[in-house]
Amino acid sequence: MGIFKRYAIQFILLFSIFSGISPSSYSNTLALNTVDQQRVVAIPATNLEPAQGKPIKSLSLLAMNNGILKPVPFQFDEMDVEGFVYFKSSNVDLKGIASLFDRDDSLLFMLSDAGEEKPDNLNTDGLLLAEIKLLSSNGKHKYAYLIENSILRSDINYVRYSKKIGRVETDQYTLQVDPDNAMNWIQFRWDEYSGINVGDPLDTMKIRVSAGVGTPFTRMTIGNKEMIAEPIESKSGPIRAITAYKLTAIVLGIPFLSMNMQIKRTAFNITYDVRLIMPPLRRKLLFSPSLTLSLDGNQLYGTEIRTALGPKAPAIVDGELSPFEKKLIGTGVNNEKNWIWAHTGNDFDIVATLNIPHPELPVGFFIQDDDKKIDNPERYLGQLPNVGYIIKDLPDKGIFFIQVNLFFSNNLGGLDHEKYIQLINKPADYSVMPL
């Protein structure tokens, strides 16, 4: 290797270390569209046969960039028998054996960190187990390599999280919540947002349960104050931070329903996973229950809101609920087609999707566009807008699952919204070759 080439490579590596950018990201993200830059690749152990049953601590991930095989950020998540990330506190059994990569455990990494195909004769400090070949949305192949007993580890964290203070930070957004109740947002920051309140586009998340209690004539609504999300246990890795919560609904000062909830945070996404075992006797006390989950914007005047069922023309946030917006309440989404897109036009977009495997529980669109309405908790007056989902019933008994995904972006990176949503909901296309 010539001395100039060697110094050039060393310069790139030093630049990447001191700038906080991984060499793989530095050389690859510009060639990817926005979705692929945001995409987390998740590969279950069942598709990584060479690594099955091996100690998780013995495994690492590398990628080839600029002619060098280097470690990239990754993590392993162990799963429980219900398909959620395993937490001992949840009292749901681990699927497999602790600390071994097996069953439905997953390897996670960013697609943007994958690199070039390595040459056949390249030496490594560990045992090469598998080549992971990925297909990006633009049709280009990228590669990552799973290795056993390598001392190489990346020190980059795309997510930084503290359960103690209720704060998550990424290079894209910061979210501060009440450390004693994660349903109460204190502040969401998106530094690139250039609207009225620079860097501060969102007010808070809101949750509402409305039902007749004991009788259909005494209808009651409980909200964030009565829906207590108490943090129980947390796992934080470089790709995503997951916290397990006990979510309790307080009715007339009495704990009425308890739910398990996990909040998963990645560099561009927040996911809420809720599991509720509905007690039949308590369910009989609820008449015509409904559940509303929504996000309240911070004076997002002019924001365009589109929904999966259309029409293609957007609703425009202006502080008054228009006839068009009222029509969307009845026609905007359903159980299967349920994405919602809010385009601020000021370097901040949100796409929300819902996964609810209960077709018997109808899903609807929820919107408030009112510059004077007070709907606590909130930091800023008005619902500008308050947008989300309403689930118009709860199960009579059994287990109830609901998952809400929030994807944050800068104008979708110039992609058409339908293309962005199509791609963001599609898992990474990959194949695994044992080595």
Q: How far apart are CA 204 and CA 377, in angstroms?
A: 8
Which residues are registered as beta bridge partners of 68? 65
Do 265 and 305 belong to one domain?
yes
Q: Is residue 433 part of a domain?
A: no
> Is 322 a residue whose pLDDT tops 50?
yes
Do 385 and 328 belong to one domain?
yes
- Whether residue 355 contacts residue 403, with contact meaning beta carbons closer than 8 Å, is answered with yes
Average of per-residue pLDDT across 365-383: 94
pLDDT at residue 19 in the model = 37
Largest CA distance in the chain: 84
> Is 8 a residue whose pLDDT tops 80?
no
Average of per-residue pLDDT across 227-251: 94
Q: What is the pLDDT of residues 191-209, one digit of tens each?
A: 999 999 999 999 999 999 9
| Band of residue 64 on the pLDDT scale cut at 50, 70, 90 | very high
Question: Which residues form the domain of 67?
Answer: 3-156
Q: How far apart are CA 384 and CA 191, in angstroms?
A: 19
Number of compact structural domains in the chain: 2
Average of per-residue pLDDT across 21-33: 52
Give the CB-side neighbour count of residue 415, counting CA atoms within 13 A.
23
- Short-list 118, 67, 112, CA closest to 435: 118
Q: What is the pLDDT of residues 114-158, one digit of tens each?
A: 999 999 888 888 999 999 999 999 999 999 999 999 999 999 999
Q: How far apart are CA 120 and CA 143, in angstroms?
A: 13
Do 123 and 242 belong to one domain?
no
Q: Is residue 230 part of a domain?
A: yes
What is the β-pairing status of strands 254-265 and 349-355? unpaired
Do 324 and 361 belong to one domain?
yes
Do 116 and 190 belong to one domain?
no
Do 50 and 176 belong to one domain?
no
Q: How far apart are CA 102 and CA 97, in angstroms?
A: 7
Which residues are registered as beta bridge partners of 130? 146, 434
Q: How far apart are CA 344 and CA 383, in angstroms?
A: 15
pLDDT at residue 336 in the model = 95
Do 274 and 382 belong to one domain?
yes
Do 125 and 168 belong to one domain?
no
Q: Is residue 192 part of a domain?
A: yes
SS (H, E, C) the chain: CCHHHHHHHHHHHHHHHHHCCCHHHHHHHHHCCHHHHHCEEEEEHHHCHHHCCCEHHHEEEEEEECCEEEECCCEEECEECCCCECCHHHCCCECCCCCECCCCCEEEEEHHHCEECCCCCCCCCCEEEEEEEEECCCCCEEEEEEEECCCCCCCCCCCEEECCCCEEECCCCEEEEECCEEEEEEEEECCCCCCCCCCCCEEEEEEEEEEEECCCCCEEEECCCCEEEEEEEEEECCCCEEEEEEEEEEECCEEEEEEEEEEEECCCEEEEEEEEEECHHHHCCEEEEEEEEEEEECCCCCCEEEECCCCCCCEECCCCCCHHHHHHHHHCCCCCCCCEEEECCCCCEEEEEEECCCCCCCEEEEEEEECCCCCCCCCCCCEEEEEEEEECCCCCCEEEEEEEEEEEECHHHHCCHHHHHHHHCCCCEEEEEEC
Q: How far apart are CA 344 and CA 341, in angstroms?
A: 10
Choosing from 156, 185, 210, the residue where a domain stops is: 156
Q: Is residue 38 part of a domain?
A: yes
Dihedral sign for Cα 109, 110, 113, 114, please.
Answer: positive
Choosing from 141, 156, 171, the residue where a domain stops is: 156
Q: Is residue 434 part of a domain?
A: no
Find the CATH number of the domain harbouring 396. 2.70.98.30
Do 415 and 387 belong to one domain?
yes
Q: How far is CA 353 from CA 9, 82, 94, 177, 402, in A?
A: 42, 21, 28, 22, 11
Lowest mean pLDDT: which of 47-61, 209-223, 368-382? 209-223
Average of per-residue pLDDT across 286-301: 95
Average of per-residue pLDDT across 61-65: 96
Amino acid occupying residue 111:
L
Average of per-residue pLDDT across 229-241: 95
pLDDT at residue 24 in the model = 39
> Is 250 a residue whose pLDDT tops 70?
yes
Mean pLDDT, rounded, of the chain: 90
- Whether residue 236 contacts residue 159, with contact meaning beta carbons closer than 8 Å, is answered with yes
Q: Is residue 430 part of a domain?
A: no
- Whether residue 422 contacts residue 36, with contact meaning beta carbons closer than 8 Å, is answered with no
Q: Is residue 429 part of a domain?
A: no
Choosing from 156, 171, 205, the residue where a domain stops is: 156
Do 147 and 255 belong to one domain?
no
Do 168 and 261 belong to one domain?
yes
- Short-list 60, 63, 75, 269, CA closest to 151: 60
- Whether residue 278 contacts residue 396, with contact meaning beta carbons closer than 8 Å, is answered with yes
| Band of residue 310 on the pLDDT scale cut at 50, 70, 90 | confident
Do 220 and 285 belong to one domain?
yes
> Residue 30 has which token pair?
């510009």
Q: Is residue 49 part of a domain?
A: yes
Q: What is the pLDDT of residues 385-422, one digit of tens each?
A: 999 999 999 888 888 999 999 999 999 988 999 999 99
Rg of the chain over Cα atoms, rounded to whole angstroms, equals: 23
**Which backbone phi and psi does 102 adopt, to 5 degrees?**
-155, 170
> Is 251 a residue whose pLDDT tops 90?
no
